[in-house]
Structure 1
Amino acid sequence: MGRLILCTGRTAKRPFYISELGLSLYTAEELCYYIYNNIFMIEDSFVSPQLLAFIGSELGLTQLEDQLRQHMGHAASGQLLLTILQEIHYYDESELTAFKKQLEKKKSASSFELAKNKADFLVKQKKYNNALKVYDSLLDDPVQKGMTEEFCARIWHNKGVAYAGLFYVEKAAQCMLKAYETLKDNEIVREIYMLSLFDEEAMDWEEIFAGVSPKQLYSWKEEFENIRKQLMQTGKALEARTVFQKDAVKRPAFIAGLLGEWKQEYREMVL
Structure 2
Amino acid sequence: MSGYILCQVKRAKNPYYISNISTNIYSIEELCYYLYHNIYLLDETIINEQLLVWMKEELHLRRLYQRLYVLLEEKKNIGEFILPIFKEINYLSHDQFREMNERLKRFEEQPEIVRKKIKGDYLVDHEKYINAIQVYQETLKDTEENETNMGSQFTGSIYNNMGCAYASLFQMNEALTCFQKANEELHTKASLKSWLFAVYMSKGQDAYEQMCTERKVDAETKREMDRQITEAMQVELPRDLDEALAAWTREYHKNTGL
TM tier relative to shorter chain: 0.7 to 0.9
In structure 2, runs of 5+ residues without a counterpart are none
Distance 1:36 1:263, change over 3 A: closer
- Counterpart of 2:6, as a letter, is T
Tell me what 1:153 maps to.
156
Partners in 2 of 1:225 and 1:258 — Cα distance?
A: 27
Letter in 2 for 1:265: Y
Per-residue deviation, 1:32:
1.6
CA offsets per residue over residues 137-183 of structure 1, 9 Å max, x none? 33332661343222111111122122213322233123222212332
Q: Is the 8 A contact 1:190 1:220 kept in 2?
A: yes
Q: Render the CA deviation track for 1:76-110: whole Å, top value 9, x for unaligned.
A: 14111233234333333332122111221232221
Q: In structure 2, how many angstroms separate the alpha carbons of the residues matched to 1:173 and 1:267?
A: 25
Q: How many corresponding residue pairs?
A: 250
Q: Which amino acid aligns with 1:159?
A: M
* CA distance 1:45–1:266, change in 2 (3 Å): closer
Equivalent of 2:246 in 231, 237, 258: 258
Partner of 1:167: 170
Tell me how far apart the structure 2 counterparts of residues 65 and 188 of structure 1 sit (CA, whole Å).
49
Q: 1:185 to 1:95 in 2, by over 3 A?
A: farther
CA contact (8 A) 2:162 2:178 kept: yes
Amino acid paired to 1:15: P
Which amino acid in structure 2 is aligned with residue 40 of structure 1? Y
Deviation of 1:37 (Å): 2.6
Alpha-carbon deviations, 1:45-74, whole Å to 9, x = none? 623333123334434544433332343312
**Residue number among 184, 187, 199 corresponding to 1:184 in the alignment:** 187
Name the SS of the counterpart of 2:74 in structure 1. coil
Shift of 1:130: 3.8
Mark the CA change 1:243 to 1:172 in structure 2 (over 3 Å): closer, same or farther.
Answer: closer
1:87 corresponding residue in structure 2 = 88
Using the aligned pairs only, state the percent identity: 25
1:33 is the counterpart of 2:33: yes
Structure 2 residue matching 1:17: 3-state secondary structure: strand
* CA RMSD, Structure 1 to Structure 2 (Å): 3.6
Change (3 A) 1:106 1:199: same
Question: What is the deviation of 1:31?
Answer: 1.1
Report the CA distance shift for 1:202/1:218 in structure 2 as closer, same or farther (over 3 A). closer
Does the CA contact (< 8 Å) of 1:194 and 1:220 recur in 2?
Answer: yes
* Change in CA separation of 1:270 and 1:176 when aligned onto 2, cut-off 3 Å: farther
In the alignment, which residue of structure 1 is the partner of 2:122? 121
Distance 1:44 1:82, change over 3 A: farther
Q: Normalising by the residue count of structure 1, what TM-score does the alignment of the two structures yield?
A: 0.73
Q: State whether residues 156 and 178 of structure 1, in contact with CA within 8 Å, keep that contact through their aligned partners in structure 2.
A: yes
Could you say which residue in structure 1 is the equivalent of 2:12?
12
1:55 corresponds in structure 2 to: 55
- Return closer, same or farther for 1:46/1:199 CA change in 2, 3 Å cut-off: closer
Does the CA-based 8 Å contact 1:41-1:114 persist in structure 2? no
User: Counterparts in 2 of 1:133-144, with a 5 A limit?
Assistant: 133-140=134-141, 141=144, 144=147
CA distance in 1, matches of 2:13, 2:149: 46
Q: Which residue of 2 aligns with 1:242?
A: 240
Q: 1:265 to 1:124 in 2, by over 3 A?
A: same
Q: Is the 8 A contact 2:160 2:178 kept in 1?
A: yes
Aligned-pair CA distance for 1:24: 0.6
- 1:17 CA displacement: 0.6
